[in-house]
Amino acid sequence: MNREERIAANAKNDMIRPAEGFTKSQPVGLDTDAILELGDVLVFPKEMPEVYHQSFGNRVVNGETVENYGEFVVIEVINKDGESRFINFFPSSLTKNIWPAAKNAEGKVETDTSHGPFNPKGSAVKLYQSVKGKVGENGETDMQLGFELLLGKKVEITDKVEIDVQRWRNGQTVDDIRKTSLYTYDLQEAA
C-alpha cells in the first residue's frame, strides 16, 4: 500500500481522525504486531507528518470509563527485498510493556508477573526514550519530543521475538492467548 492508499484507507475508518500532534506521554503503548518483520527499515520523514487519533472504544481505568485511543503517523517501511509499503506507526510501540501469559492447570489464562514486562530494545528506543518525562517549550509531550528526535532517520528491525500474551477485546481482558512481537529497533548509520 503506498502513502496515498494508506491515507485514503484511514479516511474511510470512522475511528480515525486528524490530531493536533501527540497528546499522550510515552508509557505503555499499542503494538504494531504482524506489520513489521526482521530486516524491515522504518523511514522516518524529515519533517513532522500529520498525526492521527484512532479510537479503540472505551475501557475501565480505576473504576472510570475512558476512551482507549492511540496516536500514529503514516510512515514508509522498506523490507529486506527493497519493497516499500506505508503503515500506521504508533510511536508508543517503542515503549510498550509486554506481560507474558499462559494457561494454568484449569485452562484459565494468567499473566506471569514474575517474568516481565518485556520492552522494546535498540538504539532508536534509547533515543526516543531519552526525553521521557520532559515537556517541550510549548507544552509538547515527551511522545512528541521523542518522535521529533527520529525525524529524518532510518530504523531497522534487528530482532523479533514472539511472546504469548493475554488477548484483549473491547478494552477488557478475555480468557484467550495471542502472540505479540517484541522488536529491537536500531538506528541505521548514515551512508
Based on the number of CB atoms within 10 Å of its own CB, is 185 exposed (0-12), middle (13-18) or buried (19 or more)?
buried
Strand partners, 98: 118
Q: Tens digit of pLDDT for each residue in 66-119?
A: 887 888 999 999 999 999 999 999 998 898 888 888 888 888 888 887 777 888
Which single residue is written with the C-alpha cell 533515543? 127
How far is C-alpha 56 from the geometric centre of its chain's CA atoms? 14
DSSP 8-class letter at 118 = B
Q: Tens digit of pLDDT for each residue in 30-55?
A: 555 558 999 999 999 999 999 999 88
Q: Tens digit of pLDDT for each residue in 84-93?
A: 999 999 998 8
Domain boundaries, the chain: 3-187
> What grid cell was written down for 7?
491515507
Contacts of residue 31, defined as CB under 8 A and 6 or more positions apart, other chains included, come to 90, 93, 96, 180, 181
Distance CA(7)–CA(2), nearest Å, equals: 9
Distance CA(127)–CA(132), nearest Å, equals: 10
Q: What is the pLDDT of residue 61?
A: 78
**Pair 150, 87: CB distance under 8 Å:** no
DSSP 8-class letter at 190 = P
Residue 158 region, left (φ>0) first, then alpha (ψ -120 to 50), else beta?
A: alpha
Q: What is the pLDDT of residue 117?
A: 86
Q: Tens digit of pLDDT for each residue in 1-11?
A: 899 999 999 99
| pLDDT beyond 80 at 170 | no
Can you give the pTM of this predicted structure? Answer: 0.85
**Pair 164, 100: CB distance under 8 Å:** yes
Q: What is the pLDDT of residue 79?
A: 95
Query: What distance, in Å, lies between the first and last C-alpha atoms of the chain?
Result: 27
Strand partners, 159: 184
Distance CA(78)–CA(169), nearest Å, equals: 31
